[in-house]
Amino acid sequence: MVQLREVFAHAVAWTLSIGLCQASLAQQAPSDPASTTLFQNVRVFDGKGATLSAATNVLVRGDKIEKISAQPIAVDRRADTRIIDGGGRTLMPGLIDVHWHAMLIRTTPAEMMGDVGYNNLLAGEEATDTLMRGFTTVRDVGGPVFGLKRAIDEGVVRGPRIYPSGAMLTVTSGHGDFRTPADLPRAFGTLSRQEQAGGSMVVDSPDEMRVRAREQLMQGASQIKVTAGGGVSSPHSPLDVTTFTEAELRAAVEAAENWGTYVAAHAFITEAIQRSIAAGVKCIEHGFMMDEATAKLMADKGIWLSLQPLPEEMRTGLAEGTVQRAKADEVWPGIDRTYQLAKKYKIKTAWGTDVLFSRALAQRQGAILASLVRWYTPAEALAMATGTNAELLALSGKRNPYPGKLGVVEEGALADLLLVDGNPLENIALVADPTKNFLIIMKDGRIYKDTLAK
């Protein structure tokens, strides 16, 4: 035992010495000169307004927008300087999807509880595709995404910025509980496969809620995601049920607020939404079956509504005669009504897709955004997917993994930019074909796609 303690002590000392040495070298090493990109003759959609600017020049230095001017901007023509003639095309912020499941796009429900390594490789490839669709940021609202986020941030994989929630927190039989009756009764102290994989955690008391929420925060969650009511995809979760008690929801809110961030709650029905709001939840996901009084309550209290224009293919892709299809048939008529209520009461409304288990639907991410013109002008829709979504992300406060201003083209903002061949405020369908229409995709000041390069 003494020998083991000595070995451990030497190992700790060696590890600390290596870490201190590396830190010292990092401090001594000169920083690389910031790369510079100058966009000339572009018309800017700033992520907030309803019109494009006149011909403008935008200077990006390092990871930020340094200067925006109608007058020429002088730059040193160094090797790391790129000057891009926009030719009057549109420069706009990178797109943001605030209801995304990066680990659950290319898997099936069975596969998501399988080989974690394989699932991460699939998710990494999908992350690259997501970025190449012009989505430079996503808020991940459920899944074991921390490793993928790290790989993207470190440059191992190309992908969007990820605001991670970690595992969805659900109750026994709730939305996100994919166990079968053979897994019951629950053995306390033993994790099911879905929990081991990190997709969701079953929480059946306020104390359990605090533990599981804090575990997600410890791993780097920027917000906490709970499922406060029934859902479509889960086999044992009827739509009409309200799952968590108010005390359980309050425990999640308390844990999140202690860390300076917020809770987002999956909720369709009025009761689940109102209970979530009473507990202090700041953002409701979906809300497709709420009544008008609840819509007014959300507006009065400044609660965010993260809403999705779910495409019909998501419903018809569910097999006829299944529980999931029956629930989808009940939910889908509420999408239009909820958008109408959101507009009527001026609820703070964010946009996302909520694509699950379908690579083909993920490829239509931009088309799903464009479908918002059923309720909004193109400018309103694009502002929602840029500047407005960025406001929701900012609720994470100091847990924000990417401090800085996102979703806008303004001086000092982070340089996530798209050069679009055309005017998306006149023709929002341009965002549905990013391969053709997004000529340059920049994230964090770095160009990932450039079809103008000679």
Low-confidence ranges of the chain (pLDDT < 70): 1-34, 454
pLDDT in tens, 228-240: 999 998 888 889 9
In the chain, where are the structural domains located?
36-94+408-450, 95-375
CATH of domain 95-375: 3.20.20.140
d(CA 423, CA 2): 72
Q: Is there a contact between 28 and 410 (Cβ–Cβ < 8 Å)?
A: no
What CATH fold (topology level) applies to the domain 36-94+408-450? Urease, subunit C; domain 1 (2.30.40)
Which run of H or E residues covers position 81?
Answer: strand 81-85
d(CA 137, CA 312): 25
What are 304's strand-pairing partners? 283, 348
Model pTM? 0.90
Cis peptide before 93 (omega within 30 of 0): no
Of 433, 430, 445, 435, the closest CA to residue 90 belongs to: 430
What are 446's strand-pairing partners? 443
d(CA 161, CA 102): 11
pLDDT in tens, 290-313: 999 999 999 999 999 999 999 998
H helix and E strand count, the chain: 16, 18
- Secondary structure (DSSP) of 387-452: IIHHHHHGGGGGG-SS-S--S--STTSB--EEEESS-TTT-GGGGG-HHHHEEEEEETTEEEEESS
CA atoms within 13 A on the CB side of 115: 5
Q: What is the model's pLDDT at position 290?
A: 96
In angstroms and rounded to an integer, the radius of gyration of the C-alpha atoms of the chain is 23
Q: Which amino acid would we find at residue 233?
A: S
